[in-house]
């Protein structure tokens, strides 16, 4: 078993941090939905990425290990058992959609019940 991660102090030295670099998800923000998502305004993706990169660089300059969620998830999903568990966990709450599809309720242009669930998951 590897090193344990966690926080035991509000003022202790930060050794490792997990970050997500802003990306395409920011483009989904619009003036009508930014308030409900707790944004003061629609951020500029390029600017958000520049600020994020500067922040990550400042952390590294101070000896903090910066881990990226996307890379960690990609690495974890390369393990077949982990990939299966992640898919099962993601799809379990949508089981009712599969049941509806099996009962004859179909999305337009989608005959496979599994694809109904996956299309809902992938919907913007």
Q: Is the pLDDT of residue 119 over 90?
A: no
Q: Are residue 104 and residue 92 in the same domain, yes or no?
A: yes
Q: What angle do CA 63, 68, 72 make, to 5 degrees?
A: 120
Q: What is the pTM of this model?
A: 0.61
Q: Are residue 71 and residue 14 in the same domain, yes or no?
A: yes
Is 114 inside a domain boundary?
yes
Is 3 inside a domain boundary?
no
Nearest to 113 by CA among 88, 10, 100: 100
pLDDT level of residue 86 (50, 70, 90 thresholds): confident
Is 91 inside a domain boundary?
yes
21: domain range? 10-78
Mean of pLDDT over the chain:
77
Q: Are residue 27 and residue 65 in the same domain, yes or no?
A: yes
Q: With H, G, I as helix, E, B as strand and everything else as coil, classify residue 118.
A: helix
Q: How many domains does the chain have?
A: 2
Is 2 inside a domain boundary?
no
Nearest to 26 by CA among 49, 50, 9: 49
Q: Are residue 48 and residue 63 in the same domain, yes or no?
A: yes
Is 4 inside a domain boundary?
no
Q: Are residue 63 and residue 94 in the same domain, yes or no?
A: no
CA-to-CA dists, residue 19 to 52, 77, 99, angstroms: 9, 18, 37
Q: What is the pLDDT of residue 98?
A: 65
Q: What's the pLDDT tens digit per position in 28-83?
A: 777 776 666 666 666 788 888 999 999 999 999 999 999 999 899 889 888 989 88
Q: Is the pLDDT of residue 120 over 50?
A: no
More confidently predicted of 63 and 122: 63
Is 1 inside a domain boundary?
no
Is 99 inside a domain boundary?
yes
């Amino acid at each position: 078993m590897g090193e344990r991660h966690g926080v035991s102090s509000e003022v202790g030295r930060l050794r490792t941090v997990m970050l997500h670099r802003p990306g395409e998800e920011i483009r989904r923000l619009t003036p009508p939905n930014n308030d409900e998502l707790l944004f003061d305004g629609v951020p500029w993706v390029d600017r958000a990425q520049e600020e994020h990169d500067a922040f990550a660089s400042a952390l590294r300059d101070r000896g903090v290990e910066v881990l990226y969620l996307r890379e960690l998830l990609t690495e974890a999903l390369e393990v077949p058992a982990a990939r299966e568990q992640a898919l099962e966990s993601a799809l379990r709450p949508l089981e009712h959609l599969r049941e509806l599809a099996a009962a004859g309720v179909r999305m337009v242009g989608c005959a496979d019940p599994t694809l109904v669930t996956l299309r809902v998951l992938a919907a913007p």
